[in-house]
């Protein structure tokens, strides 16, 4: 890796506050990814229904769609540290309850989906505050690097977590993975505590229901008068709606097409995460060297091709290789959508615009996962995944109408 390509990409890590939170977030992400892999695999042992298995991803993502705007409004109204601490404690308690129910043998498909919804509520409040807090800690010219590093944290965890989670599920059971996730939230709580008070954005008033509604109205009016952000959200939503089938149906691909167990499923997820880490490292350099929309178009088509291979593949090495490359191309598309939204947003409304992006991202992920399960029930797993990739490629037709930049700058 050349310093010219990657040097600016790691610059935020030289700031102690950002670095501490980044490490803490990685540990928490590791627990969360292990938890998600364990929950998805546990559902395959509780039911044979592709629809119910696809709903695992829907249950995890739907709260961010339903409550993401409220999370963005609270982010702009309240002390972000206190908001994030509350969300972490909620998720810790939910993961601990899930572990207890799994140990007692009372965790069935419906209960599992309900608890995943509850966990997602905490995540819906956490995500806008977390992304906004990270941007508060860096200057605007380092924003793309900060978003890329945040993605690296998540995808590095996704490279390690699924395989580790799969091994732990096979050796100890899903309950132990849920319990470890509950403990992982302690890392973020400790990292938040170490942020100096002067770096925390203070409350602009009490977060009363009336203030939240006013804040939401302000954010909505800003979005209506910002066609550039609306276009980016449309592109991001279509990308996740069409491409999410590969995650929703991957447990069944691993079990039925590849004949592998929880460890093999973890390997496939880890391959995707490893590719995403590599891709995220390239994002800042690619944004400087090439037109952003050209880069996104190429990576979108390559990601779609990888999804088709996953749907058609019948061997672990082939599917794992497609997941590795798919992760690389996927992260370039996703990070550029995220960064473009934030660059187009003034500071006073950034928490709410991030929440608009997150609810679009998570809502499309939830709907796409349900749709993939519905198609798989009727047309088969391989057909559903391959159709997901073909539909995703159609997103290139949106690019000329909804560019990521205003034409004046590439970053």
CATH code (residue 379): 1.20.1250.20
The answer on pLDDT for 170 being more than 50 is: yes
- Assess if residue 7 is contained within a domain: yes
The answer to the question of residue 407 being in a domain is no
- Which range, 17-31, 59-73, 104-118, 159-173, has the best average confidence (pLDDT)? 104-118
**Residues 6 or more apart in contact with residue 105 via CB below 8 angstroms:** none
Q: How does the average pLDDT of the chain come out, rounded? A: 83
Indicate the pLDDT class of residue 100, thresholds 50, 70 and 90: very high
**Residue 406, domain member (yes or no):** no
287 pLDDT tier (thresholds 50, 70, 90) = confident
Contact by Cβ (8 Å): 353, 224:
no
Instruction: Answer whether residue 214 is part of any domain.
Output: yes
| Residue 176 domain-assigned (yes or no) | yes
Strongest mean pLDDT among 42-56, 207-221, 326-340: 326-340
131 in any annotated domain: yes
With respect to residue 197, please indicate whether it lies within any of the assigned structural domains: yes
Question: What is this structure's pTM?
Answer: 0.71
State the residue range of the domain holding 372.
3-398
Note the pLDDT of residue 140: 65
On whether residue 405 sits in a domain, the answer given is no
How many structural domains does the chain have? 1
Span 4-25, mean pLDDT? 69
């Amino acid at each position: 890796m050349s310093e010219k390509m990657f040097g600016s990409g790691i610059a935020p890590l030289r700031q102690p506050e950002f670095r501490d939170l980044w490490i803490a977030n990685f540990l928490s992400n590791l627990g969360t990814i292990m938890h998600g892999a364990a929950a998805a695999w546990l559902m395959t042992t509780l039911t044979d229904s592709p629809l119910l298995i696809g709903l695992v991803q829907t249950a995890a993502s739907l709260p961010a769609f339903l409550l993401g705007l409220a999370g963005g409004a609270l982010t702009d109204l309240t002390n972000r540290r206190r908001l994030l601490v509350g969300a972490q404690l909620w998720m810790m308690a939910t993961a601990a309850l899930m572990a207890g129910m799994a140990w007692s043998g009372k965790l069935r498909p419906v209960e599992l989906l309900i608890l995943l919804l509850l966990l997602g509520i905490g995540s819906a409040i956490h995500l806008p505050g977390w992304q906004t807090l990270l941007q508060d800690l860096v200057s605007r010219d380092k924003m793309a690097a900060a978003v890329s590093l945040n993605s690296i944290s998540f995808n590095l965890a996704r490279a390690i977590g699924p395989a580790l989670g799969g091994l732990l599920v096979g050796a100890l059971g899903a309950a132990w993975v849920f319990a470890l996730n509950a403990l992982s939230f302690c890392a973020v709580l400790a990292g938040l505590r170490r942020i100096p008070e002067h770096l925390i954005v203070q409350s602009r008033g009490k977060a009363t229901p009336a203030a939240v509604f006013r804040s939401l109205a302000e954010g909505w009016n800003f979005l209506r008068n910002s066609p550039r952000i609306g276009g980016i959200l449309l592109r991001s939503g279509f990308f996740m709606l069409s491409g999410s089938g590969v995650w929703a149906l991957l447990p069944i691909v691993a079990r039925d097409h590849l004949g592998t167990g929880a460890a093999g499923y973890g390997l496939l997820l880890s391959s995707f995460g490893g590719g995403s880490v590599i891709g995220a490292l390239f994002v800042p350099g690619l944004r400087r060297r090439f037109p952003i929309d050209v880069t996104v178009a190429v990576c979108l088509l390559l990601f779609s091709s990888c999804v088709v291979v996953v749907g058609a593949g019948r061997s672990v090495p082939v599917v794992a290789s497609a997941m590795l490359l798919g992760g690389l191309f996927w992260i370039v598309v996703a990070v550029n959508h995220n960064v473009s939204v934030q660059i187009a947003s003034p500071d006073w409304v950034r928490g709410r615009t991030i929440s608009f992006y997150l609810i679009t991202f998570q809502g499309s992920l939830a709907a796409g996962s349900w749709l993939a399960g519905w198609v798989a029930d009727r047309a088969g797993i391989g057909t559903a995944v391959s159709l997901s990739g073909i539909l995703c490629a159609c997103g290139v037709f949106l690019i000329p109408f909804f560019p990521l930049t205003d034409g004046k700058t590439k970053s």
